[in-house]
Amino acid sequence: MFTARAKVCGLIGNPIEHSLSPLMQGIFSSEMNVDSIYVPLPVKKDLENAIKGAYLLGFKGLNVTIPYKKEVINYLIDIDESAKKIGAVNTLVRVNGGFKGYNTDILGLEKSLKNADISIKNKKVIIFGAGGAAKSVLHLCVNLGAESIILVNRDILKAKKLITELENKNVDLKAFSLEEFKLQLKNILPYNDYIAFQATSVGMYPNVDECIIEDNEFYEKCLAGVDIIYTPSKTRFMEMFLNKKVINGLDMLLYQGAFAWELWNEVKLDNEVIEKVRDMLKERVKDRKS
């Protein structure tokens, strides 16, 4: 329930019909007894005017998703330092004269690693992918003090570009094409203690039989695996780790939303409410067919 005084927030992107954010944000507000409302706002074109319009309409905050996480930066009045470094924004907070941009995706991923007791400090990291998601993973791993990072992507040029763009070079960074990585696995991975991040769309519903790398030897060389996909809840990539520690992207989704809600409402969410929303998300994605 909400009143005429409600804080109004929303989700901008295209397409957004399958987003779980409106449900999640709705539960946060009702469980916390906060007078706010969160609405889906499909924006097919002219992001600039959509953002201006949202400001004029009094929106307190917005989430921004595919395909606008980069473009939206052009229409902000201010940007959080870490979001600026990453070059991607998923949360907007109303300030005087416009919106300030944040990246709560990276905060959500950090929190989900912490919850799973996966530490990155001084660890050897492998990241599959070089898109927006991989970029967030890369920045987080650098920030968390990874010892070395191997970036693997089908298109090697995209992986190299990500590395070149990175400001902090205080970490041993290498890029390989997926093809070369598979062929040269033994030479590229001399150790047995890597943390592997799967940040491509390979294995996501409906292509649940796909896996970025099939070779058992790869998984034997890893300590733990993180897949940013959450449908299905256990990807083939995750299954390949057998009994080792693995997590999916559900907590990242949950906590990016929780951090956004806290920014808009300036209230900390109760843990029980977060648990409740996690259960709802699990239930929703369990048999998800879209």
Site residues for ligand ATR per CB under 6 A? 129-134, 153-155, 158, 178, 200-202
Q: Supply the minimum distance, in Å, between the C-beta of residue 160 and ligand ATR.
A: 11
Q: Which is nearer to ligand ATR, 36 or 153 (CB)?
A: 153
Q: Supply the minimum distance, in Å, between the C-beta of residue 46 and ligand ATR.
A: 22
Spot the catalytic one: 45, 52, 60, 69. 69
Put the strands of the sheet holding 7-13 in their side by side order.
Answer: 36-42, 7-13, 61-64, 91-95, 98-102, 78-79
Residue closest to 134 by CA, chosen among 79, 97, 65, 88: 88
Q: Computed over its alpha carbons, how large is the radius of gyration of the chain?
A: 19
Active site residue 69: yes
Q: Supply the minimum distance, in Å, between the C-beta of residue 134 and ligand ATR.
A: 6
Q: Supply the minimum distance, in Å, between the C-beta of residue 128 and ligand ATR.
A: 7
Residue closest to 226 by CA, chosen among 106, 113, 111: 113
Q: Which is nearer to ligand ATR, 146 or 212 (CB)?
A: 212
HSE value, Cβ hemisphere, 13 Å, CA-based, for 263: 25
Q: Which is nearer to ligand ATR, 55 or 218 (CB)?
A: 218
Q: Which is nearer to ligand ATR, 92 or 178 (CB)?
A: 178
In the complex, residue closest to ligand ATR by CB: 131
Residue 243 DSSP one-character state = T
Q: Supply the minimum distance, in Å, between the C-beta of residue 175 and ligand ATR.
A: 12
Q: Which is nearer to ligand ATR, 6 or 208 (CB)?
A: 208
Are the C-beta atoms of residues 149 and 125 closer than 8 Å to each other?
A: yes
What are the two backbone dihedrals, phi and then psi, of residue 189, each rounded to the nearest 5 degrees?
-115, 85
Residue closest to 233 by CA, chosen among 218, 253, 216, 219: 253
Are the C-beta atoms of residues 172 and 188 closer than 8 Å to each other?
A: no
Tokens of 26: 């709705």
Residues marked as catalytic: 69
